[in-house]
Chain A
Amino acid sequence: MAGEKAAGEKKPGEKKPGKKKPSEKPPAAQKAGQKEGGEKKKKIKKHHASRNPVLARGIGRYSRSAMYARKALYKRKYTAPETKIEKKKKEKPRATITKPVGGDKNGGSRVVKIRKMPRYYPTEDVPRKLLSHGKKPFSQHKRRLRASITPGTVLILLTGRHRGKRVVFLKQLATGLLLVTGPLVINRVPLRRAHQKFVIATSTKVDISGVKIPKHLTDAYFKKKRLRKPKHQEGEIFDTEKEKYEITEQRKTDQKAVDSQILARIKKVPQLRGYLRSTFCLSNGVYPHKLVF
Chain B
Amino acid sequence: VFKRFVEIGRVAFISFGPHAGKLVAIVDVIDQNRALVDGPCSGVRRQAMPFKCMQLTDFVLKFPHSARQKCVRLAWEKENINAKWAATRWAKKIEAREKKAKMTDFDRYKVMKAKKMRNRIIKHEMKKLQKMSSKKGKKPEKSEKPEKSEKPEKVQKSAKVQKAQKAQK
List the interface of chain A (C-beta within 8 A of B): 154, 156, 166, 202-204, 271-272, 274-275, 278, 280, 290-293
In the complex, the answer to whether A271 meets B113 with C-beta atoms within 8 Å is yes
**Is B6 positioned at the interface, with any CB of A under 8 Å from its CB?**
no
Tell me whether B104 and A293 are in contact (CB under 8 A).
yes
Query: B residues within 8 Å of A by Cβ?
Result: 101-106, 109-110, 113
Please list 27 pairs of residues, one from A and one from B, whose beta carbons are closer than 8 Å in the complex, sorted by A's number.
Answer: A154-B105, A154-B106, A156-B105, A166-B105, A202-B104, A202-B105, A203-B104, A204-B104, A204-B105, A204-B106, A271-B106, A271-B109, A271-B110, A271-B113, A272-B106, A274-B109, A274-B113, A278-B109, A280-B105, A290-B101, A291-B105, A292-B101, A292-B102, A292-B103, A292-B104, A293-B104, A293-B105
The 9 closest A-B pairs by CB, nearest first: A204-B106, A202-B105, A275-B109, A203-B104, A293-B105, A275-B106, A292-B104, A271-B110, A292-B102
Does more than half of chain B's interface fall in helix, strand or loop, or is it mixed?
Answer: helix
Per DSSP, chain A at the interface is mixed
Chain A residue with Cβ nearest B110 = A271
Min distance, Cβ B33 to any Cβ of chain A, angstroms: 34
Interfacial chain A residues near B105, Cβ < 8 Å: 154, 156, 166, 202-204, 280, 291, 293
Nearest-CB residue, chain A, relative to B103: A292
Complex CA distance for A146 and B110, rounded to whole angstroms:
26
A293 surroundings in chain B (CB, below 8 A) = 104-105
CB-CB under 8 A from A274, the residues of chain B are 109, 113
Distance between B45 CB and nearest chain A CB, rounded to angstroms: 32
- Residues of chain B within 8 A (CB-CB) of A203 are 104-106
Residue of B with least CB distance to A286: B108
- Smallest Cβ-Cβ distance to A205: which chain B residue: B106
B113 cross-chain contacts in A, Cβ below 8 A: 271, 274
In angstroms, Cα B106 to Cα A275, docked, is 7
Given contacts A271-B109, A271-B110, A272-B106, 8 further A-B contacts (CB under 8 A): A154-B105, A156-B105, A166-B105, A202-B105, A202-B106, A204-B104, A290-B101, A293-B105
